[in-house]
Amino acid sequence: MVRFLLGELGISLQKGNSDISEKKNNQYVEKLKLSDVVCDSNYQNVLAVLKAANKAIAHMEDIDVNHAIETNPDDKILFNAISFTELMCIEKMYKYNSYKYK
C-alpha cells in the first residue's frame, strides 16, 4: 500500500533505479514533491519499503524476495514508512480536497 499510495501522490522507485523519483500524480491529489520526501527523517525507511515492494512485485516466491524488512510486528522501518505515507495522504489527498480524515 505504501508503494501504491505514494505512486498516487507522484513518488515512485522506478525499476532499476536506486533512488526515488517524481512521476505524474493522480489528478485529484496535490503532488508530493521529491524534496519533501528526501528531506523527511523517514526517507530511508520509505526508500527501504519501496525497494522491498518492488522486489516483492517482481517475484512470486518468498524465497526470491531478498530485502531487509521482516514481517515482525515491531518492525520500525515498515511502521515509519506507513506513518509517513498516512500523513502525506492526509495532507495531499484529504486536506487538499477539503475532506476530514477519521
pLDDT of residue 76: 86
Query: Which residue shows C-alpha cell 500523513?
Result: 87
DSSP string, the chain: -HHHHHHHHTEE--TT-SS-EE-PPPTTSPPPPHHHHHTSTTHHHHHHHHHHHHHHHH-SSGGG---S----TT-HHHHHHHHHHHHHHIIIIIITTTPPP-
The answer on pLDDT for 21 being more than 80 is yes
CA 31, CA 10: separation in Å to the nearest integer? 6
Digit-coded pLDDT (tens) for 24-75: 999 999 999 999 999 999 999 999 999 988 877 765 666 655 555 666 655 8
